[in-house]
Amino acid sequence: MQQQEQARLERRRRDLMRKGMAVNQALVTLKANQNAKLLDLKLPHERKPGMTKEEKLRRFLDQIIRAQRSLGTDAYGICVDCQQPLPQAALDDTPWLEQCDGCAAKESTDF
Ligand SMILES: [Zn+2]
């Protein structure tokens, strides 16, 4: 079990690193006035509509960095809105997740 947890942690750490690099690369591409393809990055849903590509990327990068910092601590995997633990399967899929489905759904109906 301990070993399994360790493997899971390592996998998430690696996924976060990879994603962080991909988002960073997209930012560099954008800065060079080239057309960065954001679709492949599967950005988290927008909290504020009307953000520029760069703002979206920066926000995503911040989110990834926050996850990297909290990974392995009690603060990791907790919904930022309702403070409930996020499902492990969802975190395996997207280790940078910071909001549960319920809160995300509530938020998108606000607009
Ligand atoms: Zn929540």
User: Which structural domains are found in the chain, ordered by start?
Assistant: 2-109 (1.20.120.910)
pTM: 0.83
- pLDDT (average), residues 38-64: 84
What lies within 8 Å, CB to CB, of 13 at 6+ separation is 68, 71, 95
What is the average pLDDT across 69-82?
Answer: 95
Instruction: Please state, in angstroms and rounded to a whole number, the distance separating the CA atoms of residues 89 and 109.
Output: 25
Distance 29 CA to ligand 1 centre (A): 33
Q: Ligand 1: distance of its center to the CA of 111 in Å?
A: 18
Q: Which two tokens stand for residue 13?
A: 């750490």
**Ligand 1 ion local residues (Cβ < 5 A):** 79, 81-82, 100, 103
Q: What average pLDDT does this structure show over 87-96?
A: 96
